[in-house]
Amino acid sequence: MNNIVAIVGRPNVGKSTFFNRLIQRREAIVDSVSGVTRDRNYGKSEWNGKEFSVIDTGGYVKGSDDIFEGEIRRQVELAIDEADAIIFVVDVEEGITPMDEEVAKLLRKVTKPVLLAVNKVDSGKREQDALEFYNLGLGDYFTIAGMSGSGTGELLDELVKVLPEMPDAVDEEDPLPRFCVVGRPNAGKSSFINALIGEDRFVVTDIAGTTRDAIDTKYNRFGFEFNLVDTAGIRRKAKVKEDLEFYSVMRSVRAIEHSDVCILMIDATRGFEGQDQSIFWLAEKNRKGIVILVNKWDLVEKDTMSTRDYEAKIREQLQPFTDVPILFVSALTKQRLLKALEEAVKVFESRKQRISTSKFNEHMLKIIETMPPPALKGKYVKIKYCMQLPTAVPQFVFFANLPQYVKEPYKRFLENKIRENWNFEGVPIDIYIREK
């Protein structure tokens, strides 16, 4: 399992630039996922062989400067609750502001590692100016320049040193698939699990966020056996306003990284909102199987929208990854819950499937022959061989004479053809073009 590192600080100190620098180091190489720039607040990073997840809290704060203070304080509190380490970014140009002092006050009480990063330090004079940040009472600081990246190395050296050891994600003793139930607070996650288990294993009330931690339940009924993880989107009620996106996302990060299939519950009466989308792209980016359950369908006025219209609307927002099962359920009346489980099991099986190289070539090369990649600058791309890689999630490689000329639309075409011929519903797949 990965550690979670939260980047906090007031607006416009350069948190996002710093965040982008952290995740690019890895994303450019590993996560070359097309078209998924929607969720810029979460990414994976790696330094000195240690991998960790990074959350930029800045992306979740909405509103103008004057209403920021309460928001930021809340986010820092959440970061303190949920993250394993915190990087507090300040701006040398503006010096210490009252809001910085406010954040520092919260961070001084924390037992978790807190690293202070003084940003925009790109000259000797600025190095001098940075000295005043000792006054925040957080001890030594690191001077960085987010734009050029100078100083980031020293900061990351220290970060990986202070990150706590995490248990390995794979429990050798427990080969059972892990299904996690994720979604925004109050979408009905605990009710769904109670309905399945047939006992009130979780306390369910109508107050958003009464479940505090991800809880595992071994589930064995109707011939299915797996671990069910209830992340229930969750927070301490006293601390958080109803719709603070940051929390559900932060809460879901760990559960998603640690599961095989994510069952994303959305509230039919609210629609597929920003927060649901963030969680969806989080699961997609982590290459997990995904099933979407539209819960509370019994509460929707049926004359306003049919399931077909509702489903079409969701799929529109999922593009380009639209091959995902969407089911309409009610945790209250137990309608279609077993169907939802069957779907999750199917997605789990699809994610594990292996296509033999001979069969894959026989099929795909015919398609490529009839529809080859478009020529570029008068040069023709030839693909002569392809195979599925022996990885935990489905990845396919196509060997070509000029891989750099194969663009995204053609990769999508290949992906669609794979999906037409083999069932990968609910499973993200990667397509690589390599030199033969």
Instruction: Give the residue numbers of the binding site.
Output: 9-16, 56-60, 119-122, 183-190, 230-234, 295-298
Maximum separation of any 2 CA atoms in the chain, in Å: 70
Q: Measured between alpha carbons, how far is 82 from 84 in angstroms, rounded to an integer? A: 7
Q: Measured between alpha carbons, how far is 181 from 405 in angstroms, rounded to an integer? A: 41
Residue type (1 letter), 214: A
- Residue 120, exposed/middle/buried by CB under 10 A (0-12, 13-18, 19+)? buried
Q: Measured between alpha carbons, how far is 89 from 100 in angstroms, rounded to an integer? A: 9
Q: Measured between alpha carbons, how far is 399 from 278 in angstroms, rounded to an integer? A: 34
Looking at 83-232, list the stretches that DSSP marks H as alpha helix, in order from N- to C-terminal side. 98-108, 124-129, 152-162, 189-197
- Annotated binding residues for GTP: 9-16, 56-60, 119-122, 183-190, 230-234, 295-298
Strand 383-388's sheet: what is its strand order?
383-388, 395-400, 430-435
Tokens for 74, please give them: 């809340």
DSSP letter string over 280-334?
HHHHHHTT-EEEEEEE-GGGS-TTT--HHHHHHHHHHHHTT-----EEE-BTTTT
- Tracing tokens 């000792």 back to the chain, one arrives at 134
Q: Measured between alpha carbons, how far is 423 from 352 in angstroms, rounded to an integer? A: 11
Residue type (1 letter), 254: R
- For 62-152, strand residue ranges (E) read 85-91, 114-119, 141-143
